Structure 1
């Protein structure tokens, strides 16, 4: 078989017609706050996705919004801290094929070099608790791709994929 033959590609990719609109990509932003080999996680509450699991402070880009502005907005909304867009370092990119809805999601993980304010749970209706966890002792009840991304960040990896079929 020709290695470029598309019959081994995932069905969602094979079904694209020439000239069709490109697939919509959901972009998530995640704040990686590290302190003394610990990371800040929040326990999700009253959420449609991953309710009860630990996750980084995160959200999605809104229409017409720069990705860095999305991250600074989420930091303020969720933690009550101010982060300048220029103070964000992109530390990891994860391309996620969501098994629940089949959507392709680009998850961007930012680490601030500086922020202003005192970290607090500014959205207690969506976050049951904030807690610092050791990087080598993350909770069992964590969003799986969050654990993967943190492991990659810890080892210096800048790109990972999850949920995509293995193509040989």
Structure 2
């Protein structure tokens, strides 16, 4: 029997002046209208931190040296029966450029939000990663029964 596989996601926390950058999803078919961190899927042959830097550039137009990404949290998200995701959340310690909506066909507004006061318009999966980062817990199983 082949080994079980999960989707691997990368998420980037751009933090400045006490706020994090979030994008409003649009035209994606998943939680459109809600807010999410800059993120995406790991591609074949990519290291996690390299994928995170690539996604940040694609989604919010900033350049991040992968060496300036610190692993902030890991979330194992059970999206439904037989479908799980592993999300690596990286804190960008520095970047070049001003964050903007670099993919207007996939996203609406870019907002800066207080990570301690995320509202119901933030998708719960990335919100769990942000909470794990803030609390320093490192790992969160989300959506799994005890």
Scaled by the length of structure 1, the TM-score of the pair is: 0.82
What is the distance in 1 between the residues matched to 2:52 and 2:145?
29
CA RMSD of aligned residues (A): 1.2
Query: For this pair of structures, how many residues does the alignment match?
Result: 146
Greater strand content: 2
Q: Which segments of structure 1 move beyond 3 Å, counting only runs of 4 or more? A: none
Deviation at 1:25, TM superposition (A): 1.7
Deviation at 1:36, TM superposition (A): 2.3
**1:145 and 2:109 matched:** no
Deviation at 1:129, TM superposition (A): 0.6
Q: Structure 2 regions of 5+ residues with no counterpart?
A: none
Aligned to 1:128: 108
Q: Structure 1 regions of 5+ residues with no counterpart?
A: 1-19
1:62-81 matched pairs, under 5 angstroms: 62-81=43-62
Question: Does the aligned pair in 1 maintain the 2:25–2:35 contact within 8 Å?
Answer: yes
What is the distance in 1 between the residues matched to 2:91 and 2:75?
15
Deviation at 1:162, TM superposition (A): 0.8
**1:110 and 2:90 matched:** yes
Q: Which structure has the higher relative contact order (CA within 8 Å, separation 6+)?
A: 2
Scaled by the length of structure 2, the TM-score of the pair is: 0.94
